[in-house]
A = this chain, B = another copy of it.
Amino acid sequence: MGRLRTLFAPETVAVVGATDREGAVGRAILENLEADFHGDVVPVNPNRDAVLGLECFPDVASAPSVDLSVIVVPPPIVLEAIRESAQAGVENVVVITAGFSETGSDGATRERELRDIAAEYDLNLVGPNSLGIMSTQTGMNATFGPENALEGSVSFMSQSGAFITAVLDWANEQGIGFRDVVSLGNKSVLDETDFVREWGADPETDVVIGYLEGIDRGDEFVDAAREVSDDTPVVLVKSGRTDAGAQAASSHTGAIAGTESAYEAGLEQAGVLRARSVQELFDWARALSGLPAPSSDGVAVVTNAGGPGVLTTDAVGDSTLEMASFTEDTLERFRETMPEEANIYNPIDVIGDADIERFEMALDIALSDPNVGSAVVVSAPTAVLEYDRLAEVVIERREEHDKPVVTSLMGGSRSRAAEDVLREFGIPNYFDPARAVSGLDALARYRAIRETQIDEPDTFDVDRDRARAILETARDRVDNRLGVEAMDLLEAYGIPTPTGEIVDDPADARQVAESIEGNVVLKIVSPDISHKSDIGGVRVGVSDEEVYDAYEDVVAKARNYQPDTTILGVQVQEMLDLEGSTETIIGMNRDPQFGPLLLFGLGGIFVEILEDTSLRVAPIGESEARAMVDEIQAAPLLRGARGRTPADVDSVVESIQRLSQLVTDFPAILELDVNPLVVGPEGVQAIDLRLTVDTENL
């Protein structure tokens, strides 16, 4: 049990601001509680002796021991009401009243005060600006919505109260039940992270679902959801996926949205199944709450109709699942029992004249096959098939084999009764077989999430003091940006860089060049020039003899480009043999919600035009770093596609991990790019670097 259990299972609920005035929210909540709540309901209102026939108390302190206060008083006296409840020893508070940060600066001030009071008394506070909460176990409907939820095992949170109202109306018709329901409101105190944790600890919650427009503490949410999803699937619609949607979400909640790419990476790392639409949210939730996970990815499709069988097979092909190959033994059993015209290879077509017995036999044989992890039963209506009986048979076989089965008993009114029976036993039925398969797919993807071991970040032996010293040089910069002159930062964290030095004199340049074997590269070092090559600030393949002139040349080019440019010097660098090497990019951007977001991609067009990159929230361990390299589309290039010598991928993986450690150690690094990080068969070399430092936070 989590610490929020009494919030959902109080014995006594006070409605602070209860009233019998028609149409008032304080009346609606009291009525809703009175209707189904197993515990006691106490109206609180200093101006009344009784409300709706219940004894009314002037304040919470004088009411009998209250576990939860639902506060609906007008905005000016909300804070006082909260404090009064807290002083009376109430730990759980739901603030229905609106008029806080969503309304402007006065409201925002009030919300800060609310947060202070909650912190002072360590309150479990939902809202403000919430529709309320429900918990079907105790019949508690502490909302002002028109419907109570049916009992079920899905716990549901929503950043939109209206969405809850809409969903409940629909779910009650569909026979979909819930465990707990929370309207998050402004999430001033308790937020999605708290409820994911709570429901993860609740044995009666089988699935956590949510509608969110933003996640406030992204990094903590990732940790919490990742842990919870070992036992309990978490399915979310995080809206504002698109640019238009993000703009709408931000005007709705007033929150600054993190970037979609950060949410995508963060939710993936959190083990969250992210639904794109309301339909997906509930299709997945239904499968996850009613069925066991498949032990393998092989799906058997059993149908009496070829066309719908092919449609179902396409849906399996679209999913992470695959069509099962039957064992010889299974095929033999099919041959013995099915008519000659039947197709006994997957999809199994028991053909149009199949009766219940043949369907049952086919499903039984299929589910007995060790290569079959799950099944889809698809049927067109025929004269010889009663859907009600087919439903019973499917339920029996499913339970006997303990493998997930979904159905598409296609049809209209004739499917309804069967659908109701199937639903009772956790089996979702849809007219469109693709939706049935989508539910199975959610089960399989959830199994994969559970099976994924997330390794702890490695801790490399690094020179943290040296790194700090380099970062501190950013204090001298107007814009807090550093470039190649900070390459030692990478060295300090064990990311290899070519031999070289920055000099401010052509003679020194020559001296450095002579100390380096072979020809060298000269680059202008200036915080004002970001595209050095474009202005002629780079000279490649310079021999010792040419160094002096080359030095003068790149400096002249820089002055030419911008007369008052700050020139920090010229970098004289070992010239790498780039033949057989690949340019990659590793970088980091700090996201307001999720923190340091690591990026990996191949250089040039791959990142800039094809946007072929992978992202992770730092810190990450080796397996995630390796996944970053593996999941870009161009990954085969590194592994040696087209006759290339394979690159030293391990060294890229290690560089990403070292970068992860660097940006975790120094929150002051706001963004950082190593571009390119050249990787060849012998390892990596960081050629160029740019970063921005928050010098206030060093």
Binding site for B on A (CB under 8 A): 23, 103, 146, 158-163, 165-167, 169-174, 211, 213, 237, 239-245, 247-249, 251-253, 276-279, 304-311, 313-318, 322-323, 341, 343, 345-347, 349, 352, 380-383, 410-415, 431-435, 534, 604-605, 608-610, 612, 633-634, 636-637, 641-643
Given contacts A160-B305, A605-B641, A642-B604, contact A146 B381 (CB under 8 A): yes
Contact A433 B304 (CB under 8 A): no
Partner pick for A380 among B163, B323, B636, CB 8 A cutoff: B163
A322 partner residues in chain B, CB cutoff 8 A: 244
CA separation between A305 and B165, bound complex, in Å?
Answer: 10
Decide: A308 near B251, CB < 8 A? Known: A414-B169, A605-B637, A633-B610: no
**Known pairs A431-B170, A605-B634, A634-B609; A306 contacts B343 (CB<8 A):** no
- Inter-chain contact B242/A318, CB cutoff 8 Å: yes
- Measured CA separation A309–B323 after assembly (Å): 39
Verify A162–B380 contact, CB threshold 8 A: yes
Nearest-CB distance from A670 to chain B (Å)? 26
Contact A173 B316 (CB under 8 A): no
CB-contact partner of A410 in B166, B314, B605, under 8 A: B166
Q: CA separation between A315 and B277, bound complex, in Å?
A: 8
A-B contact pairs, 24 of them (CB 8 A): A23-B383, A158-B307, A159-B307, A160-B306, A160-B307, A160-B308, A162-B306, A162-B307, A162-B308, A166-B410, A166-B431, A169-B381, A170-B411, A170-B431, A171-B412, A172-B412, A213-B310, A239-B307, A239-B311, A244-B316, A245-B310, A245-B314, A248-B309, A248-B310
- Given the known inter-chain contacts A310-B239, A318-B242, A381-B146, please indicate yes or no for A278 contacting B432, CB distance below 8 A: yes
CA of A676 to CA of B637 in the docked complex: distance in angstroms? 19
| Residues on the B chain within 8 Å of A173, using CB | 411-413
CB distance B380 to A166 under 8 Å? Answer: yes
Residues of B within 8 A of A414 (CB): 169
Since A242-B318, A247-B313, A276-B434 are in contact, a sample of 10 more A-B pairs with Cβ atoms closer than 8 Å, ordered by chain A residue number, is A161-B307, A162-B304, A166-B305, A169-B414, A244-B323, A248-B309, A276-B318, A277-B434, A605-B634, A609-B634
When all copies of this chain in the complex are counted, the total is 2
Q: In whole angstroms, how far apart are the Cα atoms of A352 and B182 in the complex?
A: 18
A306 cross-chain contacts in B, Cβ below 8 A = 160, 162, 252-253
CB closest chain-B residue, reference A379: B166
Could you tell me the distance in whole angstroms from the C-beta of A2 to the nearest C-beta in chain B?
A: 26
Contacts of A315 in B (CB 8 A): 277
Known: A237-B311, A308-B163, A383-B146. A169 touches B412 (CB 8 A): yes
Given A304-B162, A306-B162, A641-B608, check contact A411 B169 (CB 8 Å): yes
Known: A313-B242, A412-B173. A166 touches B308 (CB 8 A): yes
- Do residues A310 and B610 form an inter-chain contact, with CB atoms below 8 A? no
Interface of A is mostly: helix
Distance in angstroms between the alpha carbons of A642 and B434 in the assembled complex: 43
A343: B residues at CB distance < 8 A:
251-252
Asked whether A434 lies within 8 Å of B305 as measured between CB atoms, the reply is no
Say yes or no: A609 contacts B641, CB within 8 Å: yes
Contact of A643 among B415, B431, B434, B534 (CB under 8 A): B534
A317–B239 Cα gap in the complex (Å)? 11
Give the residue name and chain of the B residue nearest to A281 (CB). Answer: B432
Chain B residues with CB under 8 A of A239: 307, 310-311, 313-314
- Greatest chain B CB density within 10 A among A242, A633, A641 is at A242
| A313 CA to B241 CA, complexed, in Å | 9
Query: Contact: A433 with B278, CB < 8 Å?
Result: yes
What CA separation (Å) do A43 and B277 show in the bound complex? 53
Residues of B contacting A349 with CB < 8 Å? 252
* Cα–Cα, bound, A160→B304 (Å): 12
A432–B167 Cα distance when bound, in Å, is: 10
Known contacts A252-B309, A310-B252, A642 near B240 by CB under 8 Å: no
- Complex contact B412–A174 (CB within 8 A): yes
Q: Which residues of B contact A637 (CB under 8 A)?
A: 605, 609
Give the residue of B211, B248, B634 whose beta carbon is less than 8 angstroms from that of A347.
B248
Closest B residue by C-beta to A430: B279
Query: Is the pair B169, A410 in contact by a Cβ cutoff of 8 Å?
Result: yes
Q: Is the CB of B432 within 8 A of A277?
A: yes
Task: Give A278's nearest chain B residue, CB to CB.
Answer: B432
Across the interface, name the chain B residue whose C-beta is closest to A318. B242
Q: Give Cα A414–Cα B169 distance, bound, in whole angstroms.
A: 8
Q: How far is the CB of A323 from chain B (nearest CB, A)?
A: 5
- Return the contact of A244 from the options B103, B248, B317 (Cβ within 8 A): B317
A306 CB to closest chain B CB, in angstroms? Answer: 4
Contact status B170-A313, CB under 8 Å: no
Give the top 5 A-B pairs by smallest Cβ distance, nearest first.
A160-B307, A242-B317, A173-B412, A162-B305, A166-B410
**CB-based contact B610/A634 at 8 Å:** yes
Q: CA of A159 to CA of B146 in the docked complex: distance in angstroms?
A: 47
Q: CA separation between A173 and B419, bound complex, in Å?
A: 15
Which of B170, B383, B412, B643 contacts A412, CB < 8 Å?
B170
Q: Are B345 and A314 in contact (CB under 8 A)?
A: no
